[in-house]
DNA sequence: AATGTAAATGATATAACATAACAAAATGAA
DNA sequence: TTCATTTTGTTATGTTATATCATTTACATT
């Protein structure tokens, strides 16, 4: 159990997160190589920092982490790296939180034609802070159905459902939030 | 046609927008009266300014408009009014745009138990800038279905679909964007 | 009308998030 | 090497949002 791939990190605070990080970085290296994009040391490091856990991370949190290890780092450094990672579909931005989270689906998308961008839908637990990217055929169908009926051509989807995950519903009080997992 | 209620303001730039404003303000007065909430002159004016059109408005745009008519106005004045209006379900915040838009469904919600908050789903045209609140049974069903299967209790839904509305798809070039409609 | 209380607004400051613009360095191709 | 392009560094500023405390207003009670 400890080294399995974690598809649903809700209620999995004790999983072997190192394997999540390694998997994400390996997939990112492969995806960039395949596309002829450059996962530079800075970009790789930012991606690694985003993957510190399964909780969305703010740009300025990342900035502080980079500053801890590199001294003076300015906001554009972080935002440029995040732009690159988002463009490659390696990271998603959660609009309702103004924060970023690593994408665990790199490389296994059918709709990945060259670039890695894809619609990302999330469940976000307001208690433990974990965000999980979901994929649901009925949801996708409903969206394309309503867009079609309205004659609307969707270019970007922001779908973020916040509430309580199953694990957090099953405990009476809020637990302290750690920064990872 | 000119005085009809506009349910879908995409491609309706010439509609009688005054009737939209009047309807929204009347509905807001009624809703607040029913709930024992106070739609003060400031809150009412902010709501009116939000309803200048069917395009999302930034908090600082509203601030500037208020300053034009009242001299010195500080950000908290606008944000407090917006908080109130959002809590009452009279205005929605579009997370992907960091902007606000009037809700045209005040008072006709089945799930309106005392307070007026409700999930709001949007189509947002990236060309004309208009945002339309939609309601789709299949979408609602898909959401509750996937949440149920995941054991997730949804508290807030952010669903914002950006792209091109039917009218904008049917014209080759972007038209100039006016501030209302 | 005077008083007390809670709600709303005013005012100041600052926090938090993000980008424009230009300089310097690193990279890769010719 | 030279050149062109991409990436990173640096400075400054723009944009969005909130914390805090003072003041005013609304309104129920006396």
Which of B85, B147, B159 is CA-nearest to residue B117? B85
Question: Is strand C in 7 Å reach of the CB of B76?
Answer: yes
Contact across the interface for A134 and B150, Cβ inside 8 Å: yes
CATH (one of 3.90.1640.10, 1.10.3720.10, 1.10.10.10, 2.30.110.10) for B17-105+116-169? 1.10.10.10
Long-range CB pairs of A64-69, under 8 A, 24+ apart, other chains included: none
Nearest to A46 by CA among A90, A96, A87, A94: A90
Find the Cα–Cα–Cα–Cα dihedral A70, A71, A76, A77, rounded to 10°: -10
Distance CA B178, CA B56 (A): 12
d(CA A26, CA A12): 22
Distance between B128 CA and the closest CA of chain A, angstroms: 13
Q: Is B165 on the interface with A (CB under 8 A)?
A: yes
DSSP class per residue in A37-69: ----HHHHHHHHHHTTSSS-B-HHHHHHHHHHH
Report how far apart, in Å, the C-alpha atoms of A20 and of each of A51, A65, A154, B79, B147 are: 8, 19, 31, 40, 24
Rounded CA gap, A161 and B143, in Å?
9
Report domain A17-103+117-169's class.
Answer: mainly alpha
> Can you give the pLDDT of all 181 residues of chain A as single tens digits?
445 556 778 877 678 889 999 999 999 999 999 999 999 999 999 999 999 999 999 999 999 999 999 999 999 999 999 999 999 999 999 999 999 999 988 866 544 556 778 899 999 999 999 999 999 999 999 999 999 999 999 999 999 999 999 999 988 565 556 666 6
**Tens-digit pLDDT string for chain B (181 aa):** 444 556 677 877 678 889 999 999 999 999 999 999 999 999 999 999 999 999 999 999 999 999 999 999 999 999 999 999 999 999 999 999 999 999 988 866 544 556 778 899 999 999 999 999 999 999 999 999 999 999 999 999 999 999 999 999 988 565 556 666 6
Q: Is B22 on the interface with A (CB under 8 A)?
A: no
Instruction: Please give the angle made by the CA atoms of B145, B151 and B156, to the nearest 5 degrees.
Output: 70
Domain ranges of chain B: 17-105+116-169
Q: What are phi and psi of B138, to 5 degrees?
A: -65, -40
Closest CA to A149 of B173, B90, B123, B84: B123
Q: How many CB pairs under 8 A join A and B?
A: 122
Query: Does an H or E element contain A140, and which?
Result: helix A137-150
Q: Nearest C-alpha of chain B: how many angstroms from A154?
A: 4
Tens digit of each residue's pLDDT (9 = 90 or more) over A129-146: 999 999 999 999 999 999
B160 inside 8 A of chain A by CB: yes
Q: Which residue has the tokens 């038209």?
A: B175
């Amino acid at each position: 159990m400890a080294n399995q791939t974690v598809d649903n990190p809700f209620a999995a605070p004790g999983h072997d997160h190192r394997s999540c990080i390694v998997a994400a970085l390996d997939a990112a290296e492969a995806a960039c190589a395949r596309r002829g994009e450059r996962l530079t040391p800075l970009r790789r490091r930012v991606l690694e920092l985003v993957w510190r856990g399964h909780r969305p991370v703010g740009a300025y949190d990342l900035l502080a982490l980079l500053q801890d290890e590199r001294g003076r780092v300015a906001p554009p450094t972080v935002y440029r790296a995040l732009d690159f990672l988002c463009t490659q579909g390696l990271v998603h931005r959660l609009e309702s939180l103004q924060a970023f989270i690593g994408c665990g689906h790199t490389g296994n998308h059918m709709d990945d034609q060259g670039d890695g961008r894809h619609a990302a839908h999330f469940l976000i637990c307001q208690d433990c802070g974990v965000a999980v990217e979901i994929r649901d055929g009925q949801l996708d169908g409903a969206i394309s159905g309503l867009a079609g009926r309205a004659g609307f051509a969707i270019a970007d989807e922001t779908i973020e459902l916040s509430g309580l995950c199953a694990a957090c519903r099953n405990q009476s009080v809020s637990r302290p939030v750690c920064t990872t997992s």
